[in-house]
A and B are shown apart, each in its own frame.
Chain A
């Protein structure tokens, strides 16, 4: 009984039941405060640990746990060699689209995510989110139980309730039964939906994403009359025009697109393409554009019309002066020019752009049309708005919500929670308790994707089978199981369903083809066929909707890492500095310098935004290069019902969504809030050209070595020669870096780098071994952006080493600057003497306080103690592994891939043996654009950079 009590407490506590909190507050005021708003990392992590403990009690009280338990291996599973990693393919699904991953295991425990080189959407790279999925898998908050009206129920009770629903469905033929789930490309799920419709013709389902791409889909439908997928082929595009585009950061297949784009950015290796960006607020795509133009929503509409007039003919429309240059460039490159429009524009605009692309004749050359990859909702008329109307009207009797959080992420205007109350039966499946599980009648924990069988398709349709990476850590139900229960009392296990789907293609449920598909992580030739559907004549005729006439328009954008808030509980993603603002743990409102001056606002000033009735208060951050016509709100923060990591961090802007487009009223409150930024200097800096060097293509053609100074390298007293078999070095191509941050999280995961939390970030104590510096050049209104990944340079004449009184940092024979944690006494002199400031110090026992599941750490890497210095090791553990292999095979280790290099979508990093014959890194190092950071310090870095070349004619355009 006591365990049951424990379970009750734990469940309530884990679910943050408000009146439980109030009760706690009466008993333990401090704990109550902690539960309701743990901003401090220590507090939060303690709570995480507590929840884990309580969850343990919770598990013991639950029945119907899935067969099989996690027990230490007494007999070694076959094929598992202690100390050797195993790799199993999987896929990271974002907005339904899959990007192949390979999960690295040690003794059966997942510890790292890598990209899957065989997968068309990954090509071996990963996004930061895919890397961070590891923490979600081990998240102790996944240990919760079924609840009905927020009271614990047993699994059998849930299955019984679903049984009743089955009978009801049979009786009503599915009328009034709606399934709400995120966008999906899973053929197996589609098959299950079809089966449901076969048995219950009236059943409806809605694929809804809070930050979705339905605008683009509708646009394609307008242009081609049907559901199709647009697949850009950037490697062949010579001129790209990106309008408010997320081509390189979030578009389906963005990892591949980034690779293809970057493949043509370095003039020493390829003919450069040219990227024009027109956008209201700076994006990664705009940041790497050769020329970037700022246009607010209204101006963008005029630009689209002007473009259309120029490219499709018709009455000429007056556009901005610089537009003619772009138009002529596009025209001059017919067949090799491509225009991409961001998902926030109206379907009509998308249709218009598609028409222009057809007119530019790039189809099949720089983009193709594929049959749609995503699964359609039951009927086109069904949208979240219409669903809510039906719910209010009482036409929805049962609502099944799978892996979606509408109560938080639905536009505030809809007031989904209230509508949900009108539904008599509602069940929400979610990995962790959230706003919707709290509001729904029934809530059940859903398994993590790594715990069950499933499948998903990439942006080009290529399918992957996702296999379980481990037995379920916590009892959770599979979506397939729940849907299956609606069909019959004893649904088949997910594995059978998935095999059914691929039986015919893979020839039999079992067999080599199936094994290969699992091993490769892709199902061969499963890509969508290319469609020849012609453009509809009236594609370009649809009138573009008028944007708001307000002086300042409030734009909503997903946070690059938390997306619609589903990753708010992930400490890696919360702390990862946002690419341009370099701010972590928060989402201040983005506002342009001039608008800020008008409102006399400084960074961190808190404003109150009112939009017909609803209002939020938020700090602001001045964003160089943003249009004055708009302020930008990043979604995904301000979760009220998340775990201790994400709860009440930042501001929830969904509140203001879906309101009328009236002008938002922005008032300064006088309060200020500290922004946890990781780059503390004033945004503008004139001499940044010295550090992140850049130039115009014309300069390069005139003098390829123009970025190098005459005085580099300088003479030195000491000429150190590597004695070792290898000489490790790295070359970083600034032309390729798009600042996405994948390398940073990969490094964090690979090297057990602790998260320090908002409080410590505010005190400038973040622990990243690899950081991406962001430099602005030029006027605040429209600066050029330069990204520069900075890690330990492994200087051959390292300044950090002679100043250490105990020799805790020194050089090994292969030129690695190694750090001996055990010997370090923490004088921190090495950090003082490091011109690059790449050393990080454990001011507290950061790793110890992290309380993250020990199993999730990389066993190959020391977890650093309090009071020692740490820094990038060039992934020494990987080098050591390669050495072992080399020793075994009697050759010298050369093929080593560091974590950052592996994760990078654009292959900006090249690591290797400088001494080896024909080594890529040596070649890049010898290239004309190659330069050393702070060469005047004469540290002889083993890391060099290739300067950033912008494909423009006039140097001043690059603000060099």
Chain B
């Protein structure tokens, strides 16, 4: 995008709600009362605007496609996908890694930065955690679909059985299985635990009896009594302290799925941190991407401000530099290492017939985010959206490079092959995107998009500071 266009786009979005460099974390005119009213309003309002209905319809259509393609998959077998000999892993694994990485952003922001006691995080953690649980849900379906005999997935559980068989615990796949299980369960619990006070607020804000009942049940009778708050505070801090290392370990283990194998292009100690970097990058990109429509459509400009975009932009830039470092090290290890087959594979990655995908990865994940050095770009919602999308696409390409391009070129040239995804591969990918979006839309329809009780802390602290 040339500078001229950039300027014009800036002009286009030039209105009062535009993010600004010296925005405060929350608009000063906001008091806890106004804030609560503003955030409770959308979920409580009776009718929802057209954009919501339309996008939910579209999302549900994609979900229908997902259901159909999964049904056909179970009926016909995974032969309907493009996987072959020797490329036995395909979209299922690519999509799985892609989603789980997107999920990570929420946990990073809400757990890590909670421990770091940064204020801006309070405006984003609800949104981020919601992204986490739905992305994790999307990720969780793929490992099962991936199996040749999905109906036997439960054999991964170490349960006592009449055959007296046990899982084989040396397999990184089993580590991964446990890690994902832990991650999904913990994320959902963390998310819900963080929701309880706001649900109580909703209960008390709601007028209609059925809504009071709905939120009342979910709020678990939380009243904000001092003692409750005290233990709640301890519990929440504890959870945050647990989630932070968990998310790191989960992505390291996903990295071990590959690094634990002797396969060319995978067998590298670089992978666990590499995958954590990738998770950071796509996680921040996803939060950034969704923060824009969230603030615009739900009128949260006062709470998700220029400061947030500024910070998120810097985070995106940082993680992209980390990922770039990983790419660099991969290249260096291949250049420096003794393994001829690895060298051959890497040469094929960067010059072979699929090299455009590799270079797209570099372009989207490393080069494009460099625009974030410019504050003006960080604060421009259109740029922010475009760059986030670029990164998210780029991360998918990266997994394609890792999974497919490595398997295409194994040790023995006689076993080299190709890979062409089928229509079912693509439908399963896009269907899951629909599932994710539908989940988010329903969530914002029912729940406060910003953690109000934590927002109150920010507002009061600011008020006190002003005095």
Contacts and interface: CB of A to CB of B under 8 A. Distances in A.
Interface of A: 679-681, 685, 687-688, 690-691, 760, 763-766, 771, 773-775, 788, 790, 799, 802-807, 823-829, 831-833, 835-837, 840-845, 865-869, 933-934, 936-937
Q: Determine the main DSSP class of A at the interface with B.
A: loop
Nearest to A807: B168
Query: Which of B149, B153, B156, B173: most chain A Cβ within 10 A?
Result: B149
B262 A831 contact: no
Given A825-B155, A826-B149, A806 B168 contact: yes
B410 A803 contact: no
A824 B418 contact: no
Contacts of B413: 681, 685, 687-688, 691, 775
A836 B149 contact: no
Given A764-B418, A790-B412, 14 more contacts: A763-B84, A764-B85, A775-B413, A775-B414, A803-B261, A805-B168, A825-B152, A827-B147, A828-B89, A836-B411, A836-B412, A843-B84, A844-B79, A868-B149
Contacts of A844: 76-77, 79
Nearest to B176: A805
B211 to A, nearest CB: 45
A831 B411 contact: no
B65 interface: no
A843 B414 contact: no
A828 B165 CA distance: 20
Question: Which one of B88, B146, B166 has the greatest number of beta carbons of chain A within 10 Å?
Answer: B88
Given A827-B147, A835-B262, A765 B85 contact: yes
Contacts of A868: 148-149
With a 10 A CB-CB cut-off, give which of B76, B155, B262 has the most chain A CB atoms.
B262
A843 B171 CA distance: 22
Which 5 pairs between the two chains have the least Cβ-Cβ distance?
Answer: A826-B148, A867-B148, A843-B79, A773-B414, A837-B415
Contacts of A842: 148
Kindly name the residue among B146, B168, B407 whose own CB sees the greatest number of chain A CB atoms within 10 A. B168
A790 B414 contact: yes
20 contacts: A681-B413, A685-B413, A691-B414, A763-B82, A763-B84, A799-B262, A802-B171, A803-B261, A806-B165, A825-B148, A826-B78, A828-B89, A835-B410, A837-B410, A841-B88, A845-B77, A866-B77, A867-B78, A933-B412, A937-B411
Contacts of A829: 171, 173, 261
B85 A803 contact: no
Interface residues of B, number: 47
Nearest to A679: B414
Contact of A831 (B76, B82, B86, B416): B86
B411 A934 contact: yes
Contacts of B339: 936
A803 B88 contact: no
B168 A835 contact: no
B263 interface: yes
Contacts of B174: 805
B166 to A, nearest CB: 8
Nearest to A837: B415
Interface in B55-99: 76-79, 82-89
A868 B149 CA distance: 7
A212 B88 CA distance: 45
A825 B263 contact: no
Contacts of A685: 413
Given A803-B172, A807-B167, A826-B148, A687 B411 contact: no
A687 B262 contact: no
A680 B167 contact: no
Contacts of A799: 261-262
Contacts of A691: 412-414
B167 A805 contact: yes
Nearest to B415: A837
Contact of A866 (B148, B153, B260, B412): B148
A832 B414 contact: no
Interface string B141-154: 00000111100110
Nearest to B410: A837
Interface in B116-157: 146-149, 152-153, 155-156
Contacts of A690: 340
Given A688-B413, A824-B148, A867 B84 contact: no
Interface of B: 76-79, 82-89, 146-149, 152-153, 155-156, 165-168, 170-174, 177, 260-263, 339-340, 344, 407, 410-418
Contacts of A840: 85
A831 B89 CA distance: 9
Nearest to A806: B155
A843 B418 contact: no
Contact of A837 (B79, B82, B86, B146): B86
A687 B414 contact: no
Contact of A934 (B87, B170, B412): B412
B79 A804 contact: no
Nearest to A772: B414
A823 B165 contact: yes
A173 B264 CA distance: 77
B153 A825 contact: yes
B149 A803 contact: no
B156 A680 contact: no
A259 B147 CA distance: 46
B340 A687 contact: yes
A285 B82 CA distance: 38
Nearest to B86: A837
A804 to B, nearest CB: 6
Nearest to B172: A803
Given A687-B340, A843-B77, A765 B84 contact: yes
B212 to A, nearest CB: 48
B148 A828 contact: yes
A843 B83 CA distance: 9
Nearest to B260: A803
A680 B416 contact: yes
B52 to A, nearest CB: 40
B171 A805 contact: yes
A503 B340 CA distance: 69
A868 B77 CA distance: 11
Nearest to A685: B413
Contacts of B340: 687, 690
Q: Find the residue from B152, B153, B167, B171 having the highest chain A CB count within 10 A.
A: B171
Nearest to B263: A832
Contacts of A806: 155-156, 165, 167-168
Nearest to B85: A764
A938 to B, nearest CB: 9
A835 B87 CA distance: 13
B407 to A, nearest CB: 7
Contacts of A865: 149
Nearest to A773: B414
A661 B65 CA distance: 60
A835 B406 CA distance: 12
B412 A835 contact: yes
Contact of A832 (B89, B155, B166, B344): B89
Contact of B262 (A681, A866, A937): A937
A24 B187 CA distance: 61
Contacts of B146: 827
A771 B412 CA distance: 13
Contacts of A934: 411-412
A773 B260 CA distance: 28
A544 to B, nearest CB: 41
Contacts of A823: 155, 165
A832 B261 contact: yes
A831 B88 contact: yes
Nearest to A681: B416
Contacts of B344: 687
Contacts of B86: 764, 831, 837
Nearest to B81: A843
Nearest to A836: B412
Contacts of B165: 806-807, 823
A789 to B, nearest CB: 11
